[in-house]
Amino acid sequence: MNFDSELEKGNFIIAECIHCKKIVWPPSEFCNKCFREVSWRKGSHEGKIIEFSRQNDAYFCLVEIENSIRIMGKISKGIPITGQQVKIEKCGIKDDNYNFEISLM
């Protein structure tokens, strides 16, 4: 499995080190603590807003997932608040960049 190829298909997967019992983020084939190979699993799509701002009419935010993964994405609709629960509505790769669409819960 490979994070980028799965993301391209719209799947959000997580690299985990079974030995260290930790999520490896950013995604990598090796654990950054023990260098063992990671295993992959389907990631939770739910997280919370750490911080946000707005460009033109579009809010963007920094989201934390499973207490360790942080990504930036665009909020599809609504006005966010810090700490608010959100989920990844859609993800993929667009113009060579990871692309996350976040919806408020």
Partner 1 sequence: MSKVGIASYGITKFSKDDSKIESVLLQSTKKLFDNSPNLSRNDIDAVLVSTNNNSKYLSAVLSEMSGIEPKIAHSVESLCNSGTNAIVSAYSYIAAGLADVVLVCGAERYDSPGQILEWDNSRGEFKHPIFWASIFTKSYKREFSVTDEELAIVPVKNHKQSHNNPNALSEKTYSLDDVINSKKLTDDLRLHDCSRPCTGGASILLASENTCKKFTDTPIWITGIGQKTTSAGFTKNITFSSMESTQIAATSAFQMSKRNITDVDVAEVHDAFSVCEPIALESLGFTDKGKGIDMIKELHTTNNFKINPRGGLIGAGHPLGATGIAQTIEITQQLQSSANKRQVKNAKIGLVHNMSAAATSSTVLVLER
Contact residues for partner 1 (CB under 8 A)?
A: 25-26, 50-55, 60, 62, 70-74, 82, 94-100
In whole angstroms, give the CA distance from residue 9 to residue 64: 22
For every residue of 1-34, DSSP letters joined together read --HHHHHHTT--EEEEETTTTEEESS--SB-TTT
CB of 34 to partner 1, least distance (A): 18
Q: Which is nearer to partner 1, 20 or 72 (CB)?
A: 72
Q: Which is nearer to partner 1, 10 or 26 (CB)?
A: 26
In whole angstroms, give the CA distance from residue 93 to residue 2: 13
CB of 97 to partner 1, least distance (A): 5
CB 40 within 8 A of CB 14: yes
CB of 82 to partner 1, least distance (A): 7
CA-closest candidate to residue 70, choices 32, 31, 26:
26
Q: Which is nearer to partner 1, 25 or 43 (CB)?
A: 25
CB of 15 to partner 1, least distance (A): 13
